[in-house]
Structure 1
Amino acid sequence: MVKVTRWAPCPGAVIEQDPWIPLDALWEVDRDLQPLYLMISGSSGGYLEVRVHPESGQLMSLTVIDLPPEGGGLDWGPQPELLWGVVPVFDISEWEDADPAFRIVRKTVELSHARLPEGELLTLGGTVAAVKASCGPVVVGVSHQGELTHFWFRSESTEV
């Protein structure tokens, strides 16, 4: 998986509702440049499109194109560190070998989805989160190894 290397300030994020797209989140990141694309296929189903800023590496958006199969919640293990008002920054060296016309990196991991009273949860790979980064109504989980563990689309009244 593409690694998260650090965090950048995030003024906000929004969740967009669309009848044709199951889940969509946009982080308030500069959008003046063509993004890099991380296309994540679920080994048992599901398909995600992650857009990454081509210069800063900041997460720009997540679009769930095909909802993964239903799964359980998260196995938190020790309580993850909680960061407020930040967005993940990816190591963009992975895109160096990508076709410049498409700027796409493709990965396959185990994906699952759960609808909870607190919101929608997407899990990636089953790795335990070491950090939860909250910006607006979206929380991104990252492991000790810098791998994405989950995206949590919180209900408006939900605490982290």
Structure 2
Amino acid sequence: MTHPLPYYNLALLEAEPRARFDSFTRDDAAALGIAAAQIIREWGLSLMADVHIGDELAFRVQYGQTGEGSLHWVSGKRRVVRKFSESSLLVRFRGIDTPHLVEGLGDEYAVWGGGVPIFVGDELAATLTTSGEEDVVDHEVAVTALARFAAQDRALSA
């Protein structure tokens, strides 16, 4: 990996804006996935990125050493996002202070950074999930891709 490890704490994660849009279509999923792919290449990372609308895969890209082994982590992070309606890294940090929050989650959940929610209005509509590097890097790629996507004629709100 050539990209430096970012620093996160609970306060920083809680202050991140939510990805909230008026709509989120398959075309949007492709544009967001392409933004993630560009970041992965620019930063020289080995990552998988998935965009799901609901439970349906709308876009997937794999770079470097990612492959079938990454699917477990991507799926588990996405489950965390869908259960808590928050980024999987925020859930991980909250679980440090409040262990009962994540205790008892099954093996199908992966409480590691890299999954972020996408809202249409107040409803969780989609997820962007990355995996393959340190979880803080996975998270940084996801939020950076969302910011790039939002800048392409979209509004990212808190």
Q: What TM-score results when the alignment is normalised by the length of structure 1?
A: 0.28
Higher relative contact order (CA 8 A, sep 6+): 2
Greater share of strand residues, 1 or 2? 1
Q: What TM-score results when the alignment is normalised by the length of structure 2?
A: 0.28
